[in-house]
Amino acid sequence: MQQRLEEIQSAFSSMNGAVKNIEGASKAVLDSLNENNASLGELSKVMATLGTQSQQMKNIA
């Protein structure tokens, strides 16, 4: 009986470790997505600025 309880405890411990690994990987993915969104936001601003500057240059020409 004791051996079986230890096996069950070991299984739960392994599952807990796997869940923590999944949580860590999920957080890394979410952080990466947030960084990508921030980068895309900055790129969008730069593209808008370039478009404005291009229009200004066209008007000057």
Residues 15, 44: Cα–Cα separation, whole Å: 43
What mean pLDDT comes out for the span 41-61? 93
In a domain, 11, yes or no: no
Q: Is residue 4 part of a domain?
A: no
Longest dimension (CA), the chain: 89
**Domain around 26:** 17-61
List the structure tokens of 12. 């739960």
In a domain, 9, yes or no: no
Report yes or no on 47 lying in a domain: yes
pLDDT of residue 61: 83
Please give the tally of structural domains in the chain. Answer: 1
Residue 24 resides in a domain: yes
Residue 40 is predicted with a pLDDT of 96
Residue 1 inside a domain? The answer is no
Q: Residue 50 has what pLDDT? A: 94
Residue 10 lies in a domain: no
Q: What are the backbone dihedrals phi and psi of residue 45, each rounded to the nearest 5 degrees, phi first? A: -60, -45
Q: Which residue has the tokens 């230890």?
A: 6
The whole-angstrom separation of Cα 29 and Cα 40 is: 16
Confidence band, pLDDT 50/70/90 cuts, at residue 58: confident
Quote the pTM value.
0.63
